[in-house]
Each structure stands twice: as structure tokens, then as C-alpha cells.
Amino acid sequence: MLFKLLTTYTKMISIPNKVPRKKRVFLGPLSRKILKLSNWEITGEFPNYKKIILIGVPHTANRDAWYALLAVLALDLKINFFGARWIFTRLPSPYTFSKDVDRLGIPWPLGWLQKIILLKLGGIPVYRNKSKGLIKGAIEEFSKMEEYVIAIAPEAGTEQVKKFRSGFYYLAKELDIPYLPIELDFKNRRFHVQKEQFVSMSFEEESKKIISLFEGVEGALREFKMLEETEQKD
């Protein structure tokens, strides 16, 4: 009965042979089943590269990370991702208890276990108070690797922003690898994989191209839209 339950999967795209994989005997089938029960699907076509950057947009709520994790596990992808330091040991909270951006969320007794799990899943903690030189260091480390999939949310946080963070751009440019736009489409309850892109312009021009690719996609809390200069929040 349990086997039958776990083998009834959601709609799933195929992953080509060059893409780094990590077979998960239990978590893979379980994640596919949870996505199905949640009426989520993964559509589009995944390109066949052994080195690639995934950029997910829009990022409007903390629960985006939950669905993204399910998608990664469901596809048996082997990834690395950057995350604020606090998410490795603390629970998300709608309220801010600290002005320190590295100490947001709520501490809890199993924070140590949370950190172990996220590190094993490929997480790379980012100290936002000391992030200078992070991308340069990441470029040096990834340039030594034979294969990798890097997942990045170019909006960085869940607040509306007037521009993307430039990390994905410089990683793709310096490592000479493609980036893959993926829609976090809550309206249609799907992750939609778009066509891979290569950096060919300045960061500002590349950002405009990406903005046009995600125009109209509805996230968990709002439709994707960049803030105008005069609308930027404090």
C-alpha cells in the first residue's frame, strides 16, 4: 500500500544524462508524492549541461523554499544553493526580533540538526553582514569542480526590490556557464523551466531581459514586478 502511494507521481520532466544527479531512494519518491498531493507539477525542458545555474523567480514568501526543496528532491538533482546564515539554524518568523540580518528567525533546540541537513543538501551559508568577496570565492571554488548545479534566488529576499543581486550574473559570466530561468508559478501551481540563457550583455541589460522573461508570473504573495526607483522600500 505504501509502495503504491509513493509511486503515484506528479507530472515530472526528465533530467538529461550530463546533469549532476543524486539518487534518493526514499526522499525522491516521497517528494514526488507530496508535490502530487499539493497539485504541483514541473514543466518545461531541462537542458543537458554538467555545469549550470538555476535562477528561481519570483521569491515572495518563505514557503517558496519548501516547494523548491521538494522539486529538487523529486528530480533527484544534486545542487548547491546560497542561503542566509539564519535559515541554517532558525525557524522562519513573520516578526523581526533582531536588527542583525544574520540573526533573523526564531532559534530552536533542533537548529543543529537543521544545519546538518541543509549542509548535506548542498547549502552554503551566507553571512550578509560579511558577504564581501563571497562571489569571488565561490567562482574560485566552483572553477575547480567537474560538475555542479547552483540554485540562486536573484531577488535575494522575499521583499520587492528595484534590481536583482548581481551574484548569478558574475558566476555565469566568469565560469562561462548558462543560467536557467525557472518560474515559481503559484497561480498554476508549477515550476516551469524556461530556455537556458548565456550572459552576453552588461548586468543591467541582462537583468532587463530576465525581467521580461518573468513578467506576469504570480508568486505566493504577489505577481512578479520590480519596484520603480521612487518606490524602493527602506
Whether 120 is covered by a domain: the verdict is: yes
Same domain, 97 and 73: no
Same domain, 110 and 88: yes
Whether 27 is covered by a domain: the verdict is: yes
Give the pLDDT confidence score for residue 93 in this predicted structure: 78
Same domain, 108 and 75: no
What is the domain extent for residue 25? 20-45+66-79
Whether 28 is covered by a domain: the verdict is: yes
- Look at residue 170 and give its three-state secondary structure: helix
Give the pLDDT confidence score for residue 6 in this predicted structure: 45
Whether 153 is covered by a domain: the verdict is: no
Q: How many domains does the chain have?
A: 2
- Look at residue 222 and give its three-state secondary structure: coil
Q: Cα separation of 156 and 153, whole Å?
A: 5
**Distance from the Cα of residue 55 to its chain's centroid:** 6
Query: Model's pTM, two decimal places?
Result: 0.83
Give the pLDDT confidence score for residue 176 in this predicted structure: 97
Residue closest to 64 by CA, chosen among 189, 171, 162: 189
Whether 107 is covered by a domain: the verdict is: yes
Same domain, 91 and 117: yes
Find the DSSP H helices in the chain. Answer: 2-6, 27-37, 63-74, 111-120, 134-142, 167-175, 203-213
Same domain, 112 and 90: yes
Give the pLDDT confidence score for residue 100 in this predicted structure: 74
Same domain, 89 and 38: no
Whether 39 is covered by a domain: the verdict is: yes
Give the pLDDT confidence score for residue 204 in this predicted structure: 96
Residues 33 and 2 sit within 8 Å (Cβ to Cβ): no
Per-residue pLDDT of the chain (234 residues; tens, 9 = 90+): 444 444 455 567 899 999 999 989 999 999 999 999 999 999 999 999 999 999 999 999 989 989 999 999 999 999 988 777 888 888 887 777 777 777 788 889 999 998 998 888 888 887 666 655 678 888 988 998 999 999 999 998 888 999 999 999 999 999 999 999 999 999 999 999 999 999 999 999 999 999 999 999 999 999 999 987 544 444
Give the pLDDT confidence score for residue 134 in this predicted structure: 75
Q: Cα separation of 133 and 173, whole Å?
A: 16
Whether 6 is covered by a domain: the verdict is: no
Per residue in 170-199, is it b (16+ CB within 10 Å) or e — as a string?
bbbbbbebbbbbbbbbbeeebbbbeebbeb
Same domain, 101 and 73: no
Cell of 35: 508535490
Residue closest to 166 by CA, chosen among 151, 176, 156: 156
Same domain, 39 and 88: no
Whether 33 is covered by a domain: the verdict is: yes
Q: Cα separation of 31 and 37, whole Å?
A: 10
Cell of 121: 543538501
Element (H, E) at 151: strand 148-152
Peptide bond preceding 58 in cis form (omega within 30 of 0)? yes
Same domain, 98 and 73: no
Give the pLDDT confidence score for residue 234 in this predicted structure: 45
**Distance from the Cα of residue 84 to its chain's centroid:** 12
Same domain, 73 and 25: yes
Give the pLDDT confidence score for residue 229 in this predicted structure: 58
Same domain, 74 and 92: no
Q: Cα separation of 166 and 147, whole Å?
A: 22
Cell 569571488 maps to which residue? 136
